[in-house]
Each structure stands twice: as structure tokens, then as C-alpha cells.
Amino acid sequence: MSVVGEIKCPHCTAPLAYAPGEVLFTCRYCGYTGYIDLSVQFKLAHSILPPRLSNQEVADIVKKWMGTGFAKPRDLAKKGKVLEQRYLLVPFWLVPVKATTTYRGLFVRLGPQTEKSGKVEGAYDWFIVARSGVKVPPRIFDLPISERVPFSLSNLPVGVEALNAELDAEEAKERAKQQIKLFHVERAKENVDRFIEQKTDYEFGQLTYVHVPLWFIRYEYRSATYDVIVDGHAGRILLGELPPAEIGIF
Ligand SMILES: [Zn+2]
């Protein structure tokens, strides 16, 4: 980590280093969370999805995943070799939002061109990762977010630190808007081939800042490497890269 500065935790007065681009810190000594710009007050809830899985349990989950399911080389569990297993407590914004997209457009794919209009709506707990360098799938609907608890250092395994955020709440909302718009437009494309107009309205609830324990695993199979992400709370595979199916099936 390249350090740009140091602040004093307003809660316990411990000196804390921070890196370029970081906007929110979590004190490693007392668990206090605030803006690195100490003149701004942090008023939102801070939660954690409590880590529950050990290193070995996660390794077992990955082995099992390699050995079961469709479209995997048959010898993946045997030949796949884990090169790296990294544990990070990654900050996310949980963005509760109701979004409505109304659209009008042309349907041309069958027969004569017709004009169609419609609406796509949804209520979401949208996850936005609050760090740019962490590679996670763009949409994670699979996390059991209702099992989050208020953040406390006592929830952290020894030696694991909560990563600071690089994205603040307003930026997270903007990012959620962009992603939801794309998501809705994709769904609208089932009815319309060319849009004449489209508009999305958003109604945001209170955002929550939440740390999620994630395991980043890199494995090697037939001299190529692939990534797997497992959540350290429930053990779900959030990302599972696979070798091309034809490899190994002969
Ligand atoms: Zn502190």
C-alpha cells in the first residue's frame, strides 16, 4: 500500500495511514468508521457480513466446485491447482433503490415495423463495490445481505483488516443508476429493437456501508490461470472462471 497521509482516529486517537484515492477509513484499533476528510461526518450505518469460513473450508468448497456441475473438464478437480488464496474484507455500498424505466421504440424483427411502449421496474438492494482495484462481478444478487450485523472488530478474523473505501455514497448512487439503467434496457430490448425514447427514474432509500468477507482464489489448469471468488460468510461461489469446455474432454 502506498501511503499518502496519516490521520488521527477521532474516536481512539490512534494514528492511521491512508492510501491515494481512499475516502472512508475504518480504524483498525477501535473499528470507528469515518471520512478521511475529518470535517465531514459519516452518518450512515456500517455493517458487516460476518466471516464464518476458515481457509481450509474455503479450499474444500473450491475443490468440490471443481469436481461437480456441468461444463467443467472432468479432470479439473484433480489437475486444477490453487496458486493463491487471498482473503479480503471488501467494502461495498448497499443501495436500496426503486427504479422505473419507461420506453417507446420500434419492433422490427418480425414482419412489419410496429411501435411499442412499455415499462421495466424493480426494487433492488444493489451492491456497488467501493474499491476500484477489486475485481468482483458487476452484479451480486447472491449475497445473504439480511444476515449482516453492525460492524465490529470482534467479527474480524485475526490479521484481517477492513479495506478502506475509494467510492463515497454519492458516487455509489451514480454507479448504481448506470448499472440499473443498462439492466433495464437489456430487458426492454425483448420488446423493442430500436428505442425512440427511454427514461429511468430512481427512488433511493438509505444507503448502508457494508464490509463483505471475500476469498479470491487463483488456480492453474493446463498452464492457464483462472479466478474464483467465494464469499466468506455463506461459502457461495460468486465468480467461477472455467477453462474452455473442450479442453480436457477427450
Ligand atoms: Zn480508532
Ion ligand 1 neighbours, Cβ < 5 Å: 9, 11-12, 14, 27, 29-30, 32
3 CA → ligand 1 middle, Å: 18
Give the pLDDT confidence of 207-246 residue by residue, as tens digits: 999 999 999 999 999 999 999 999 999 999 999 999 986 6
9 CA → ligand 1 middle, Å: 5
- 32-41 own/partner pairs: CB under 8 Å, 24+ apart: 33/151, 33/209, 34/10, 35/168, 36/5, 36/7, 36/164, 38/7, 38/10
154 CA → ligand 1 middle, Å: 14
Which 3 state secondary structure label does DSSP give 182?
Answer: helix
34 CA → ligand 1 middle, Å: 10
Neighbours of 202 (CB within 10 A): 15
| Mean pLDDT value across residues 78-82 | 92
Give the pLDDT confidence of 48-61 residue by residue, as tens digits: 999 999 889 999 99
7 CA → ligand 1 middle, Å: 10
Q: In this structure, what is the dihedral angle of CA atoms 34, 93, 240, 178, given to the nearest 10 degrees?
A: -130
Which 3 state secondary structure label does DSSP give 146?
Answer: helix
Q: How confident is the model at residue 250 (pLDDT cuts 50, 70, 90)?
A: very low
Give the pLDDT confidence of 173-197 residue by residue, as tens digits: 999 999 999 999 999 999 999 999 9
Share of the chain above pLDDT 70, in %: 94
For residue 160, pLDDT over 90 is answered with no
